[in-house]
Amino acid sequence: MMNTFHKHKLHEVAPKPKHTLQFNEKTAPEELRAIIDKLSAILSEARTQQREVVYLCIGSDRYIGDSLGPLTGSLIAQNAKTQRVYGTLEEPIHAFNLKPALKDIQKTYDAPLIICVDASLGTKEQVGDVLFVDAPLLPGKALERMLPETGDYHFQGIVNYLDPLPTSQFLNDTRLHTVMKLSQLIAHIITESEQQASQ
Protein backbone atom coordinates (compact mmCIF):
# COMPACT_ATOMS: atom_id res chain seq x y z
CA MET A 1 0.00 0.00 0.00
CA MET A 2 1.33 3.45 -0.89
CA ASN A 3 2.11 5.71 2.04
CA THR A 4 1.03 9.35 2.33
CA PHE A 5 4.53 10.51 1.43
CA HIS A 6 3.99 9.51 -2.18
CA LYS A 7 0.33 10.51 -2.29
CA HIS A 8 1.39 14.07 -1.59
CA LYS A 9 3.95 14.03 -4.33
CA LEU A 10 2.57 12.95 -7.69
CA HIS A 11 0.78 15.15 -10.17
CA GLU A 12 -0.58 14.75 -13.65
CA VAL A 13 0.35 16.86 -16.63
CA ALA A 14 -1.86 19.90 -17.07
CA PRO A 15 -3.06 20.93 -20.54
CA LYS A 16 0.00 22.18 -22.40
CA PRO A 17 0.18 25.99 -22.29
CA LYS A 18 1.74 27.94 -25.16
CA HIS A 19 4.90 28.65 -23.16
CA THR A 20 5.78 24.97 -22.81
CA LEU A 21 8.68 23.52 -24.79
CA GLN A 22 8.57 19.78 -25.41
CA PHE A 23 11.15 17.25 -26.51
CA ASN A 24 11.43 13.50 -26.87
CA GLU A 25 13.49 11.08 -28.93
CA LYS A 26 10.92 11.12 -31.71
CA THR A 27 11.09 14.88 -32.28
CA ALA A 28 13.66 16.93 -34.14
CA PRO A 29 16.96 17.91 -32.50
CA GLU A 30 15.98 21.53 -33.11
CA GLU A 31 13.42 21.22 -30.34
CA LEU A 32 16.09 20.07 -27.90
CA ARG A 33 18.24 23.02 -28.97
CA ALA A 34 15.27 25.34 -28.41
CA ILE A 35 14.99 24.21 -24.78
CA ILE A 36 18.74 24.63 -24.22
CA ASP A 37 18.69 28.10 -25.77
CA LYS A 38 15.65 29.10 -23.73
CA LEU A 39 17.16 27.93 -20.44
CA SER A 40 20.53 29.45 -21.30
CA ALA A 41 18.87 32.83 -21.84
CA ILE A 42 17.10 32.49 -18.49
CA LEU A 43 20.37 31.69 -16.73
CA SER A 44 22.17 34.61 -18.40
CA GLU A 45 19.41 37.01 -17.43
CA ALA A 46 19.48 35.75 -13.85
CA ARG A 47 23.21 36.46 -13.65
CA THR A 48 22.67 39.96 -15.04
CA GLN A 49 20.09 40.51 -12.31
CA GLN A 50 22.47 39.01 -9.72
CA ARG A 51 20.04 36.21 -8.93
CA GLU A 52 21.41 32.83 -7.91
CA VAL A 53 19.96 29.86 -9.81
CA VAL A 54 18.93 26.87 -7.68
CA TYR A 55 17.76 23.48 -8.98
CA LEU A 56 15.03 21.87 -6.86
CA CYS A 57 14.54 18.21 -7.82
CA ILE A 58 11.48 16.72 -6.14
CA GLY A 59 10.83 13.02 -5.57
CA SER A 60 11.77 9.86 -3.71
CA ASP A 61 14.25 7.12 -4.51
CA ARG A 62 12.03 4.54 -2.79
CA TYR A 63 9.85 4.00 -5.86
CA ILE A 64 11.07 3.91 -9.44
CA GLY A 65 8.26 6.10 -10.73
CA ASP A 66 9.02 8.83 -8.24
CA SER A 67 12.80 8.79 -8.55
CA LEU A 68 13.17 11.10 -11.56
CA GLY A 69 13.79 14.18 -9.41
CA PRO A 70 16.51 12.87 -7.09
CA LEU A 71 18.22 10.95 -9.89
CA THR A 72 18.30 14.09 -12.03
CA GLY A 73 19.55 16.12 -9.07
CA SER A 74 22.49 13.78 -8.60
CA LEU A 75 23.32 13.96 -12.31
CA ILE A 76 23.12 17.77 -12.32
CA ALA A 77 25.42 18.03 -9.32
CA GLN A 78 27.88 15.68 -11.01
CA ASN A 79 27.75 16.93 -14.61
CA ALA A 80 27.09 20.64 -14.20
CA LYS A 81 29.40 20.77 -11.20
CA THR A 82 27.09 23.03 -9.22
CA GLN A 83 26.40 22.93 -5.50
CA ARG A 84 23.06 24.70 -5.98
CA VAL A 85 21.05 21.49 -6.14
CA TYR A 86 18.35 20.45 -3.68
CA GLY A 87 17.05 16.90 -4.01
CA THR A 88 19.49 14.10 -4.85
CA LEU A 89 19.57 10.33 -4.38
CA GLU A 90 21.50 10.91 -1.18
CA GLU A 91 19.22 13.64 0.16
CA PRO A 92 15.81 13.59 -1.58
CA ILE A 93 13.30 16.44 -1.36
CA HIS A 94 9.70 15.26 -0.98
CA ALA A 95 6.35 16.23 0.55
CA PHE A 96 7.61 16.00 4.12
CA ASN A 97 10.59 18.31 3.68
CA LEU A 98 9.65 20.49 0.71
CA LYS A 99 8.56 23.49 2.77
CA PRO A 100 11.73 23.51 4.93
CA ALA A 101 13.82 23.18 1.77
CA LEU A 102 12.11 26.21 0.24
CA LYS A 103 12.75 28.22 3.40
CA ASP A 104 16.40 27.19 3.36
CA ILE A 105 16.78 28.22 -0.27
CA GLN A 106 15.33 31.66 0.44
CA LYS A 107 17.58 32.05 3.47
CA THR A 108 20.76 30.80 1.79
CA TYR A 109 20.62 32.41 -1.65
CA ASP A 110 20.24 36.00 -2.77
CA ALA A 111 17.04 36.49 -4.78
CA PRO A 112 17.08 32.83 -5.90
CA LEU A 113 15.65 31.77 -9.23
CA ILE A 114 14.34 28.24 -8.69
CA ILE A 115 14.12 25.68 -11.47
CA CYS A 116 12.22 22.54 -10.45
CA VAL A 117 12.38 19.00 -11.78
CA ASP A 118 9.59 16.50 -11.15
CA ALA A 119 8.04 13.31 -12.53
CA SER A 120 4.62 13.51 -14.15
CA LEU A 121 1.86 11.33 -15.51
CA GLY A 122 0.50 11.98 -18.98
CA THR A 123 -1.10 10.14 -21.88
CA LYS A 124 0.39 6.92 -23.21
CA GLU A 125 1.76 8.86 -26.20
CA GLN A 126 3.49 11.38 -23.93
CA VAL A 127 5.60 8.87 -22.00
CA GLY A 128 9.24 9.77 -22.57
CA ASP A 129 8.52 13.46 -23.16
CA VAL A 130 10.34 16.26 -21.39
CA LEU A 131 8.42 19.49 -20.86
CA PHE A 132 10.06 22.76 -19.89
CA VAL A 133 7.39 25.10 -18.56
CA ASP A 134 7.69 28.84 -18.04
CA ALA A 135 5.68 28.71 -14.81
CA PRO A 136 5.90 27.45 -11.22
CA LEU A 137 5.42 23.76 -10.41
CA LEU A 138 2.22 22.65 -8.71
CA PRO A 139 3.27 19.44 -6.91
CA GLY A 140 0.48 17.07 -5.88
CA LYS A 141 -2.09 18.68 -8.19
CA ALA A 142 -3.52 15.43 -9.55
CA LEU A 143 -4.24 14.16 -6.06
CA GLU A 144 -5.54 17.54 -4.86
CA ARG A 145 -2.87 17.82 -2.19
CA MET A 146 -2.07 21.17 -0.65
CA LEU A 147 1.59 21.77 -1.42
CA PRO A 148 3.05 25.20 -2.13
CA GLU A 149 3.43 26.50 -5.66
CA THR A 150 7.13 25.99 -6.22
CA GLY A 151 9.82 27.62 -8.31
CA ASP A 152 9.94 29.99 -11.27
CA TYR A 153 10.29 27.41 -14.06
CA HIS A 154 10.07 23.64 -14.11
CA PHE A 155 10.89 20.49 -16.01
CA GLN A 156 8.39 17.65 -16.16
CA GLY A 157 9.55 14.20 -17.19
CA ILE A 158 6.56 12.08 -18.18
CA VAL A 159 7.44 8.67 -16.80
CA ASN A 160 4.10 6.88 -17.09
CA TYR A 161 0.52 7.33 -18.24
CA LEU A 162 -2.82 7.68 -16.52
CA ASP A 163 -5.12 4.67 -16.53
CA PRO A 164 -7.81 3.15 -14.26
CA LEU A 165 -5.19 1.62 -11.97
CA PRO A 166 -4.55 3.31 -8.62
CA THR A 167 -1.67 5.76 -8.43
CA SER A 168 0.31 3.29 -6.34
CA GLN A 169 0.32 0.98 -9.36
CA PHE A 170 1.98 3.75 -11.37
CA LEU A 171 4.82 3.79 -8.87
CA ASN A 172 5.36 0.06 -9.15
CA ASP A 173 4.94 -0.30 -12.93
CA THR A 174 7.16 2.51 -14.18
CA ARG A 175 10.27 1.29 -15.99
CA LEU A 176 13.65 2.27 -14.60
CA HIS A 177 14.86 2.56 -18.20
CA THR A 178 12.34 5.34 -18.88
CA VAL A 179 13.21 7.24 -15.71
CA MET A 180 16.95 6.94 -16.35
CA LYS A 181 16.70 8.21 -19.93
CA LEU A 182 14.55 11.16 -18.88
CA SER A 183 16.91 12.02 -16.02
CA GLN A 184 19.92 11.92 -18.32
CA LEU A 185 18.15 14.10 -20.88
CA ILE A 186 17.10 16.77 -18.37
CA ALA A 187 20.57 16.79 -16.80
CA HIS A 188 22.08 17.15 -20.27
CA ILE A 189 19.83 20.12 -21.05
CA ILE A 190 20.76 21.82 -17.79
CA THR A 191 24.49 21.11 -18.15
CA GLU A 192 24.57 22.40 -21.72
CA SER A 193 22.57 25.48 -20.73
CA GLU A 194 24.91 26.24 -17.83
CA GLN A 195 27.93 25.98 -20.11
CA GLN A 196 26.34 28.11 -22.82
CA ALA A 197 25.31 30.80 -20.33
CA SER A 198 28.83 31.02 -18.91
CA GLN A 199 30.46 31.71 -22.28
Residues 111, 116, 119, CA angle at the centre, nearest 5°?
A: 170
Protein fold of 18-197: Rossmann fold (3.40.50)
Sign of CA dihedral 82, 34, 159, 99: positive
Full pLDDT tens readout for the chain, 199 residues: 333 334 334 455 544 444 566 766 666 788 888 899 999 999 999 999 999 999 999 999 988 988 999 999 999 999 988 889 999 999 999 988 999 999 999 999 989 999 999 998 888 888 889 999 999 998 765 444 567 789 999 999 999 887 765 555 555 688 999 999 999 999 999 999 999 999 8
The phi, psi pair for 63, rounded to 5°, reads -130, 135
Q: What is the β-pairing status of strands 53-57 and 113-122?
A: parallel
What's the CA gap between 25 and 48, in Å, rounded? Answer: 33
The structural domains of the chain, with segments of one domain joined by +, span 18-197
pTM of the model: 0.85
Collapsing DSSP to helix, strand or coil, 85 comes out as strand
